[in-house]
Structures are given as C-alpha cells and as structure tokens.
Structure 1
Amino acid sequence: MIIAAYNAQDTLVRAVNSALGQQVPVEVLIIDDASSDDTPRVAEGLTRLHDNVRLIVSAENGGPSVARNRGLAEAQGEWIAILDADDAFLPGRLQRMTGVARRHEADLVADNLLFFDWQAQAVAGRALRLADDHVQQVGAADFVGQCMTGRSPFDYGQLKPIFRRRFLHARGLRYPPHLRHGEDFAFVLDWLLAGARFMLMGEGLYLFTQRIGSISSDSSGQSRTILNLQAMRDHTLGLLARPRIRADRALAGLLSKRADAIRDQAIWNRAYPHLRARRPGALLMEMLRDRRSWPMLARHLVRRHRARMLAR
C-alpha cells in the first residue's frame, strides 16, 4: 500500500486507518513528499502505533509520480495498492478486489469510485453506472476511449487499480517522473501496452475526494495536485511515436482525440473560474474569445445536474 503524502496533515490518519482496516494483511508505505506542514509528525506517530506502517521521507518535492516510484521500489506484497492521502478505502475493498483478480487471472483490478464531498462529509454519487456485481475486462483501446479529458462521462485515468507486483518488476514499469497530473493514465496504459490483463468492477469501494464538492459546491481544500494540462497533452502526443502505437491505427486515433480533448479542457479552464465566481459578463467574454468553450460549458452543466440527481 503506497500513500504519497504532501501537506496531508488533516487527512492522513483517515487514509491510513482505512488501509489498516482491510480484511487482508497490509504493509502501508507513507512517502512524505517534502511536506511543509505537520504531515511528517503525523506519519511518525502512525509508525509508532502500527508495526506495519513505514515512513519514507523525500528531501525535496518531486510530485506524486516520483513519490510513488519510491514506494514501488520498497513494496513487498503480492499486490500494490495506491491510496491518495485525501482519499480512503471502504472496509473489505482489498479482499474483494484480490478475489476478482484470482477468478479472472488479472494483473490489475480497479473498482468503481464513490465521489466524496469533503465539506459536506458525504458520498456524492458513483463514478460509473455499473451494477455492483459487474466485472469486465478493459483493453488498451477501451481504456483510452474512456480517458477523453472533459468529454468522457468519467475519465478512466482517475481509477485506482491494484497492481500485481510480479508483473510490475518483470516489465520494469514505473510512473513517468515528469508528470504531476495525469500520471495514473500513463501508468495504467503502460501496463496495458505491456500485455497486462485489466479487470474493472462495478462495486464502489474507494472514496474519492472531489476537488469541488458536487453537494456543497465548495473546494475540498485538500487536493494538492498541480494541474498541468500541457504536460498531459505533450505526454499523450509523445505516445504516438511508439512503434506499438504507430502500428495500431485505432489506438493512435484515440490518443489523438485525447490530445484534442485535453487542449479543449485547457480552454475551458480559463472560462470556468468566471462561472464559479458568478461573473456572467467575464464568462461571456472569455467564451466569445474561443468558441470551443461552448461544448465544454454544456458538458459541465450536464455533469453537475447528473451528480446532483445521483446524490438525492
């Protein structure tokens, strides 16, 4: 279990306790990514309370990819789970996921996500409209097709799979160290390109803290992710140079569409702050400046309406 923690003093105990509360043996590796708050002190307290919690301290902030790679090098279990420091597992998550892995001979398994509104302290809906007993295999094209940033109903790049450690080391897989945003997409796609068998469950067992709560409409105040859509787009376009992808026209076409979607999301991100601050004049001016923001506004309003309906 790897928890990359940066300025997570308010959420780290919840995250670690949710990991320790699983019905399978776990080793928890906290990677403090040069926090400037009390995260190291909180983590040290947890190591004193629990023999199976270890702390690794980074001298400088490298971002989630670098921190997780340190954890991947240290992890000893058969399976590796990633838990963000502001998120939490529901009881029984790892037991049910490893059970699916055994039945389907999977190398990675993801569950559904439950959106968590931090300010409301309530579950705000499910990421995917799948039945709890639903299990499906996800291939590379399936995965990329559901990772159209800002367009997909839910971006599969935000899923939190568990990974078989033997496969990881046999293929030498690691997070791209230069990515601080979108690194999960890159990591999972590398697994799929390496031939991994990926199973997706319909049951939601991971509490995913929303950046903006869909119930409260307030910022969680917890996320430390540095948004860098240009780096995400550059990485996506860079994938097109790989021989494996050049040979697959369908997959290359999906990655090109993803790159376009990321570009459009960056355009929308210039307009969205005006919508959130209820500045209609400024919003209209920004949207007139680039008409590609209009479809993004429509998608945003549909998603917000759907989230509110699911939360009822």
Structure 2
Amino acid sequence: MFNSIDSLTAFVHAAQLGSFSAAARHMGKSQSTVSEAISQLEIDAGVALFDRRTRQPTLTAAGARLLSHAQHVLHSHAALRQQALALQGGEEAQLGIVLSDTFQSQAFETLLTAFAERFPLLSLECLVGEDDDVLALLRSGRAQLGVMRAQGRYQADVSAQAMPGQTAMALYVGAEHPLAQVAQVDEAQLLQHRELRLSTYTSSQAGPHSPRCWLAPSYLLLLELTARNFGWAALPTWLAAQFGHGQLVQLKTANWPQATTLDLVWLRTAQLGPAACWLIEQLQHAGHTVAVR
C-alpha cells in the first residue's frame, strides 16, 4: 500500500494546484496518467481523496487528513535520495569534533553556519574536552577532529597542525574570595588557599600548587566553582569574560596571564571525508587571538 512515489506526488500536486491538469503540467505527464495514479492511490487507501462532482476536484475530508502524511512521505523520500547521493560521493554520514574551552573564535558560529549550508544532511556532534580527553575521544572513534591546547609532542598516531593566533589563561577568584582584595598575589599566598585545577577523565594532573586542591574535568565547571569562592583557578580569559557575569576577579600575579597556542588534531589512520577535510581547512584559518594583559 502507498508504495508509489509517483502516486503520492500526483496527489499532493493536485491538492496544491487545484486540478489534475495543473498537476500533470507540473509533473510533465499526461492528465490521464495523473488521474490514474490518484485513482490507484484511492484504491490502496480504501477512501476517496477527491470529490469529482464539482468542476474542479476538491479534497474530501479523508483526503485533507491524508495530505500532510503524503507530504511527509515525499519529504522523507527526497531526504533519502539526497543522503544516498551524498554517500555515493564519499560524504560522511556523521562527524564528531571535540573542542577545548581554551578555543574561542568570533568566526566559529559563522563557520558552523557555512558548514550547515554546505553539508545539510550530515549529523554533527560537538563535544567539549581538554588535553588527554581530546585524544581519547579521537581514539575511541567518538570524534574525528579535535581542537586542544598545543602539546608540543604527540604520539605517532596523531596528526597535528598549529592554529593561527593564540589565547590567554589567567588566575581568577570569586569577588568575595580573600585574595580578591590583594593588590599583588605571590605564590606563598596562593598556597594558603584552595586551588581549583583541571583534571581530565583520562588522567589527573599531578603536583598541584595548593595542598588543598579540588579537581574538575572542564574549565566551565572550574569557573562555576571559582565564582562561588571555593578557591582560585587558571581559566581562559575569554571564558571568564563571557560567563563570569562580573563575579570573578583576575589576580595580579607574576608570570600571569599566560599565552597558549592551539592545535587542530586528528588520527593519522582516520579516513576523513569531505566534511572533515573542509572543516580542517576552515579551522586552520579561524582566528582566535585573545589579548594577553
């Protein structure tokens, strides 16, 4: 039942254009062919779709109810054809990218807009991860591309390309934290207070500066803890500016803020499709420079 796309197309066009003849002209077929296709559809459905007693056929109550379903089937069929053609051309069905919170680019939303227009059927998953977690997600197959703080050296299975520009990290506390009132903070003063430090799921970072240390796997969670005055943390300056909501104070400390560069990474063995390759090319030109001051 309803296994003819041509019959559904004739039904929808006749309903939208108001006559079988108009539907036939639109489809490039004879009126008798369109009329026969609709009649066959009515036999399959077991109901009359059009009232033919008037000069121009009009939808019956049943036809009106089935019209939206027919339109949905045709839309799904078109999407199926388009996806199949894309896959024939080598386009991947889905793509995962994991981004470090140190990456901030004003052009990123614009880039995603262009990506959506260029690859409308691709399923995109955007993940957040830091350091070793980025590489772990690549190796697990969950993601195919990653943007992370530059590591200098990578294992042999990782391809890395430096991204243009740089970002900045600075030390922050909440507005009501005792250190917020200190004009110049030294290391001894930091040691007297809890440190909020990044710790990836894959491996925790050893050697915290403070004996009392809380760990979290994302900079955004560290920001929330910092804003609640639980301790001090090194945070991306763009993240603090955008999400700190005036609750954070940047500490004046020797050797801070610090500039950091980012790498675009993927596995050498990965079979990257057109969408991933396009994204690599665009990300290599996505500026993310944040002033270090």
Q: What range is the shorter-chain TM-score in?
A: under 0.3
- TM-score normalized by the length of structure 2: 0.20
| Bigger proportion of residues as helix | 1
- TM-score normalized by the length of structure 1: 0.19
Larger radius of gyration between Structure 1 and Structure 2: 2
